[in-house]
Chain A
Amino acid sequence: MSDDPDKVWLTGLTLKEAEEVHSYLIDGTRVFGAIALLAHVLVAVSTPWLG
């Protein structure tokens, strides 16, 4: 990997832009995970799921 932070890579992104894209993806995954976790806790409490 190049050390130049302003290098435009094959995808048309610089390292800074790639990190920005990645931060949104991570945030989205965390929100999705939190909602899913809550939903699974509610299902585990209110149904015979997992015995």
Chain B
Amino acid sequence: MRGKLVSIVATAILAAILAAPPALAEKAGGTLRIYHRDNLPSASIHEEATISTVQPFMAIFNNLVLYDQTKKLNSTETIVADLAESWSWDATKTRLTFKLRQGVKWHDGKAFTAKDVQCTWNKLTGKDKDDFRKNPRAIWWHNVKDIAVNGDHEATFVLGRPQPSLLNMLASGYTPIYPCHVSAKDMRTNPVGTGPFKFVEFKRGDSIKFARNPDYWKKGRPYLDGIDWKVIESRSTRILAFTAGEFDMTFNADVTVPLLKDVNSQAPKAVCDLAPTYVSTNLIINRNLAPFSDPQIRKAMALALDRKAYIDILSGGKALVSGVMMPPPEGKWGMPPDMLKALPGYAADVEKSRAEARKIMEGLGYGEGKTLKVKVSTRNISIYRDPAVLLIDQLKKIHIDAELEVIDTSIWHAKVTRGEYSVGLNLTGVGVDDPDVNLYENYSCESERNLTKYCNKEVDALIDKQSQEADVGKRRAMVWEIERRLAEDLARPIILYDRQATCWQPHVKGFVLHHNSIYNNWRYEDVWLDK
């Protein structure tokens, strides 16, 4: 009897194995064709804060560590070795030592050493005279005091205090290692890396070409012979070109929810992944300008927001209601929905909130016959203009008569930095799903990218405190407390976190789209073409 049972089980297992589809063998060769949506400002990842630079040029470089390109969600648990073979913290948790891979060469043949790691951070922390023209993530490294080098293959990050998130920031697509021997200027136009692909050419407004690095330290990679990017500024043209088979892949998050329907009908075999982008649509209020220096007015504006309307109209219901940190399940640190509802302006009963807002405004002397006249400023591109128009409509409900002011996209940040706005509709991308990245960049007093110049020393102290906490549960609780404070202060109310689709042809294999950041999965070393 027992023998019969064993043979039945064995037969079932054998049948299951035979029925399973055969594993695909990766094919080497072919050039991946992707379109690019605009004229990227430069090739230097460290000097830019846009996906336009990261998505192509991440393939040229390596980091010390990297988020696993085959896992959908970035987290500390998915960090894998890159140029560093191993790493360890000291007992004080203020020194992080990396043992570096040996035998790695830059694309121009020079050897990669620990000095290159030191050079990169000397530029990022302003110690190098040949520093960057701009350094948008300087705040990420405010706690890095020095990079100590021990021989050619060991580098130690010396911190002012413990910071568990350091590794997460090092794993980002925004943190490649740069060579000592190439100037910052050259890295903007002719970048040299150690990565799977070598830079070939960059014709502004036209194309970018990469070729396979035959001396790549990871044997057998990359599978592709090269990557060709074609700049196509008209969205209609590039989506049409993709559906016609001209390209293997769309630009990241280029396919909006309405366009996704078109792509699915015209290219039904294309694989499309609708993912959160960790780019927030948010409200910026100039708290240094009357009457918006009055917290009551800011509170009234927050109470007027109907986030569901934005989500339904702009994204067909796919975007996410959120606080500062992206909500679960994709976001590790975001507040759950029940907790979010308790924040000012997030209550489910929008009419009740608006009634409260009107009461506040009437208490300040405004009403049907005497509305508060404001200009809502925003960038002159549709992803900014469309929510701005909705905002104007919603503010009307609480005696605020707003007029749209569109600003040339090229000078938007300059005007906001100078405080030449009263109310604005803004978008903000977050590089890593980590509180240190989001909170320091956008809300700390010292950050140059704190557009609203919000400065609360108590909140800053809380941000520093959570940054040092190693226990994830305790840290999360602190982050939620900060969220509550930011919501009460109306620091930069988040309206939504968007979802957009990225599509690729069915013959593109080995690519996994990250779902909690758009900046970290463009190495392309595992991508291959099944044709």
User: Do A and B come together as binding partners?
Assistant: no
